Amino acid sequence: MRGGKLGVAAAALMGAAAFAPAAQAQTSAVNVYGLIDMSVGSYKAPGGQRQTLAESGKMTTSFLGFGGSEDLGNGLSAQFKLETFFRSDVGRSGRFDGDGEFTRTASVGLAHKRYGALHLGRNTTSLFVSTLMFNAVGDSFGFSPAIRQYFTSGTVTGDTGWNDSIAYSSPTVGGFRANLAYAFKEGQAATDGNNWSVGLGYSQGPLALSFVAQEVKKGAVNDTKTQQLGGAYDFGVAKVFAQYGEVENLTTGNEFDISGLGVRVPLGAGAVVAQWGRLDAQTGADRSSLTLGYLHNLSKRTEVYAMAMQEKQDGLSNGSSVAV
């Protein structure tokens, strides 16, 4: 079961400049929000043994967030966001043992209606956002072929969020928007470097497009360079998704092509979703995945789902998983 963003106001403060000749009201608010995801299912990875598990975060990684903004006047606002992952199946923080406290997001910044927003801290990457937006299964690490092939298959390095980063998001003009990010190196090792990312997006009516390029050199990871194209079109009776990406491992010299096609069909209070993805490796095993599921909204905040996935990898027995 997946609960949507709670959007519960934890505090709301109103104030005005008491002595300013032309006083402007300044509004600040802090929100507490989050999402809890739990499922029970049967899982078998390619070449692995079948397991029956009650798991947290298979459809969406569970998290708790605190976010706030303050109106500074003249279209400018100050913002902060602190978001921590947790595992509700075991009652522990983080996505895994040893994960940091606020690894989803930890940032502070300024936003202007005309000039865009600038945030400092740990910021979610444009590649992760584009990957989840342009596939029918969203940000599911358990069932989205796209998410799994980019972020859990030994291809892209550097995590879904970057430490020590500065991120800029432009305002949307004529349906177009740009995102830039840079993560500063901290280590003294000669192999340690900086990360950078450029993202361009377009959304107008039923059509949405994206392009993202990033390079990861920061930290004790293999250096990688990634480019990704994404697109979606909403026909009303169905929304279709397409992705294509190339990942180059600069350390090992290996290269990967990642393709994806998906569809989301509204049905009653929910939707049927299907997503196919393929990972072609220049060196190593090729992989493909197919996911089919149904998501049903019990309310604006609560959703139940049933998902099934089949995975194939060269040289291994097929994998298959089902969960509700």
- The DSSP code for 301 is S
In terms of Cα–Cα distance, which of 290, 272, 164 is closest to 217?
164
What does the block give as tokens for 270?
């929910």
CATH fold for the domain made of 2-323: Porin (2.40.160)
Over residues 144-150, the mean pLDDT reads 97
Tokens of 137: 């299964």
pLDDT of residue 220: 86
Q: Tens digit of pLDDT for each residue in 44-83?
A: 999 999 999 999 999 999 999 999 999 999 999 999 999 9
What is the C-alpha to C-alpha distance for residues 178 and 172, in angstroms, rounded to an integer?
Answer: 8
Q: By the 8 A CB rule, do 56 and 37 touch?
A: yes
Over the range 63-92, which residues count as b (16 or more CB within 10 Å of their CB) and which as e? bbbbbbbbbeeeeebebbbbbbbbbebeee
pLDDT tens figures, 212-224: 999 999 988 999 9
d(CA 174, CA 196): 26
**Region of residue 128 (left: phi > 0; alpha: psi -120 to 50; beta: else):** alpha
Boundaries of every domain in the chain: 2-323
